[in-house]
Amino acid sequence: MTHHKKHEEHHVGVIQTIGLLAAAGVVGAYYFYGKDAKKHQKKLKSWVLKFKAEVLEQLEVAKEMSEALYHTIIDTTATKFKEMNKIEHTEIDSLAEELKGHWQNITGHKED
């Protein structure tokens, strides 16, 4: 296969990926801003609040806190929510990563 042919195939792949991302954006926008937007937004907010509340409960029970334990609490909560199968796993993973990113804000530093 020539270099030119590989470049063209890569270009087509990039265009297809951009098209899929654009379509996903349209679907997401419709889901959160379309006909049943309020219902979908409420559902999303509800599980996010429950997730955060569960993490906070576990943090309050912990006698000592480290970054590793904080991440474990978030991961355990994420696994529990995934097992409910009511929420997209990617949404749960995204929230878990966001919460993990707050460790520095909570402590003012990052552990190694």
Phi, psi of 109, rounded to the nearest 5 degrees: -155, 170
Please report the pLDDT score of residue 80 as a whole number: 94
Judgement on whether residues 48 and 71 belong to the same structural domain of the protein = yes
Only one residue has tokens 């599980």, namely: 47
Judgement on whether residues 98 and 64 belong to the same structural domain of the protein = yes
Q: How far apart are CA 57 and CA 68, in angstroms?
A: 17
Q: Is the pTM of this model over 0.85?
A: no
Please report the pLDDT score of residue 6 as a whole number: 59
Structural domain containing residue 99: 37-112
Report the candidate in 60, 51, 46 with the shortest Cα–Cα distance to residue 93: 51
Please report the pLDDT score of residue 31 as a whole number: 43
Judgement on whether residues 43 and 26 belong to the same structural domain of the protein = no
Q: Encoding tokens for residue 99?
A: 């919460």
Successive 10-residue mean pLDDT values, the chain, 112 residues: 58 48 42 57 77 91 89 95 86 92 78 52
